[in-house]
Amino acid sequence: MKFVLIILILFTNIEIYCQKITYNHGVNSKSSDYKQVMRLFESYLKSNPHNKRINRFWNSVEQRDHENFDFLESEFLPSLYSGFPAHVLSIKSNKSNYEIKVQFSYCKEDGTPYVLAIVNYYAKKENGSFKLYNALTINKKEWNCTTVGIIDFYYPNYHKFNIEKARKTNEFINKLCKDLIVKSIPFEYYVANDYDEIQKLKGIDYYMGMGGDTTPKGKAADDKIYCAGLGEYYLHEVFHVQIDKYYPNKHFWVSEGIATFLGGSRGETLKWHVKRTNDYLLKHPEVDLSNMLTLSNLDFKTAYHYVLGGIIAKKIYEKGGWKLIIAFMSSGKTDQEYYIAIEKYLGIKKEGLNLYLREQLNIESKKL
Ligand SMILES: [Zn+2]
């Protein structure tokens, strides 16, 4: 892809393989510490961080404690380091820390900028030399932290922590892990009213898709859950954090379906999404559910992979309990394997899915 850098001539330009780095004039390149921090960041980008291998430019503690130690890397698919030129907007010192603010963007052929993200890293000395740190590791110290069971809950001052919900989440995990025969995984759970507060804590000032109304939102990432407007008891993401890594050979719809069956999605129960989808489909007979994997969002609130995936997971559970759910979670990643698994466990062929799913949505939406 051809990238044209924004107002290129104004900046010092250092080419690093495919990932270009430029600096704002404001960056103090004369001081020795600033220079070291600049070189550190350049070296990190040059080291192909999307490969997620052990990296000598990143601090050892985060690498020891987290398999995917650069939390920003997977925030953007396929990776933050997928070739966008990096423009260092500022490097700011705060006691012994240096905050590096970076814009990942390019200029489209019509001249308009395409900004993927503006993110922050920290540089701090470890054994005498600067290493990179996640902003989250530093920033989370500003939030309150309460540990309940295997979960460290982080939340801002205004949030009234709900210990009952926190306990219930732990109870859910204990039962889930027992039923699915896995060992529970300790994790961090971030709670706020608005998702952008969490993004800020992670060091993300701007991301493509930012803006719009404040709506409930949750996200699971390795050993962390980020939840906005959903409180301490949002089980959808809990399922992802506890179970996904143990059963990697499953289709995306299997994962999202079971997560929605157990914990709803986007802050609403499966039942809520079922009613909504049923109403919509009654008015839209042309939608063919036998090709359901080609469908994505019904609207801003409901997505087919949640609601249809959820109904299928529910039916499989009702037929064979956790044992069948475990088998379903090892039935393969491809679309074809997903359809084969439905036929195997529910006896419904792909071409019969439109009729079957419409019937089931109708039945489920009428249940109390
Ligand atoms: Zn999910």
SS3 content of the chain, % helix, strand, coil (to 5): 45, 25, 35
CA pair distance 116, 78, nearest whole angstrom: 12
Predicted local confidence at residue 32, as pLDDT: 86
- Residue 43 near residue 57, CB atoms below 8 Å: yes
Q: How far is the CA of 237 from the centre of ligand 1 (A)?
A: 6
Of 98, 97, 96, 76, nearest to 86 (Cα)? 76
**Which residue stretches of the chain are H helix?**
32-46, 60-65, 135-139, 163-179, 195-202, 235-243, 252-263, 270-283, 304-328, 335-346, 353-366
DSSP character string of 84-126: PPEEEEEEEEETTEEEEEEEEEEE-TTS-EEEEEEEEEEEEEE
Predicted local confidence at residue 4, as pLDDT: 33
Q: How far is the CA of 32 from the centre of ligand 1 (A)?
A: 46
CA pair distance 74, 153, nearest whole angstrom: 22
Residues ≥6 apart with Cβ < 8 Å to 363: none
Q: How far is the CA of 219 from the centre of ligand 1 (A)?
A: 7
Could you list which residues have their CB under 5 Å from ion ligand 1? 256, 259
Q: How far is the CA of 259 from the centre of ligand 1 (A)?
A: 6
Over its length of 368 residues, how does the chain's per-residue pLDDT go in tens digits? 333 333 333 333 333 345 678 888 666 666 788 889 999 999 999 998 988 889 999 999 999 999 999 999 989 988 999 889 999 999 999 878 999 999 999 999 999 999 999 999 999 999 999 999 999 999 999 999 999 999 999 999 999 999 999 999 999 999 999 999 999 999 999 999 999 999 999 999 999 989 888 888 899 998 999 999 999 999 999 999 999 999 999 999 999 999 999 999 988 999 999 999 999 999 999 999 999 999 988 887 899 999 999 999 999 999 999 999 999 999 999 999 999 999 999 999 999 999 999 999 999 998 86
Cross-strand bridge partners of residue 187? 151
Class assignment of domain 8-133?
alpha beta
